[in-house]
Structure 1
């Protein structure tokens, strides 16, 4: 098993966990949030927050030896049901070519509007 503490460009973990773990032929990511790793800031609009979160997810997948093309399951956590339409539109920009299985729920989160984690197939040796 290989642990990825933090990928270049993504924010540092906010707790004692790895951003991604490779086990066998699978990559399991921790929940990614809409924080820019370089500045520590969150975009103002939900649309840009969704894009930032998916860019962070992609960075961690690449660091682990996978990519968005090999995602097989996504869990999305939103804080407001009205975000779903925008989330779906942005999600399609990143994962719409061959949508993986997905669960999306509305929850209360700590200081962020959304969080996304996934499981992907390993593409390269890490």
Structure 2
């Protein structure tokens, strides 16, 4: 069974994608940035954006019936290599014990204010 999850971001509607897709026992969370989707604002610091992106991912996972502890893979995209290391404490706080497989890519993001984008894949313990 396939189920679509939206964060309410206008980008999903305008571009044509979902924040997350549940397909069987897998949850695919699309590239998530540090936007606060309720206010459509973004803080300037990479650490704050990293933390907000993870909280946005956690919200999508919760709607799918999963949590951060179910994440098996992460993909990080940062435009500036110097922004990667400041994110480590944030990532360790959220994923230090979970330790999912992960990859980092350096690439441009949709806007200059975006400092990090995170994609996640999780596996449901009990399919929804």
In the superposition, the TM-score normalised over structure 2's length comes to 0.88
Name the CA distance, whole Å, in 1 between partners of 2:120 and 2:53.
Answer: 12
| 8 A contact 1:71–1:121 mirrored in 2 | yes
Q: What are the residue-to-residue correspondences of 1:5-16 with 2, within 5 Å?
A: 5-7=5-7, 11-12=9-10, 13=12, 15-16=15-16
Count residues in correspondence: 124
Q: 1:75 is paired with a residue of what secondary structure?
A: strand
Q: Which structure shows the higher helix fraction?
A: 2
Query: Which runs of 5 or more structure 1 residues have no equivalent in the other structure?
Result: none
Superposition CA RMSD, Å: 1.6
1:58 aligns with 2:58: yes
Deviates more, 1:88-97 or 1:66-75: 88-97
Report the alpha carbon displacement of residue 40 of structure 1 after superposing the two structures with TM.
Answer: 0.5
Q: 2:102 is paired with a residue of what secondary structure?
A: strand
In the superposition, the TM-score normalised over structure 1's length comes to 0.89
Name the CA distance, whole Å, in 1 between partners of 2:62 and 2:119.
Answer: 14
Q: Which structure shows the higher strand fraction?
A: 2
1:97 aligns with 2:103: no
Name the CA distance, whole Å, in 2 between partners of 1:4 and 1:63.
Answer: 10
What do residues 7-60 of structure 1 show as CA deviations (whole Å, max 9, x unaligned)?
A: 4xx634252011111112111111111110111100121111111111111111
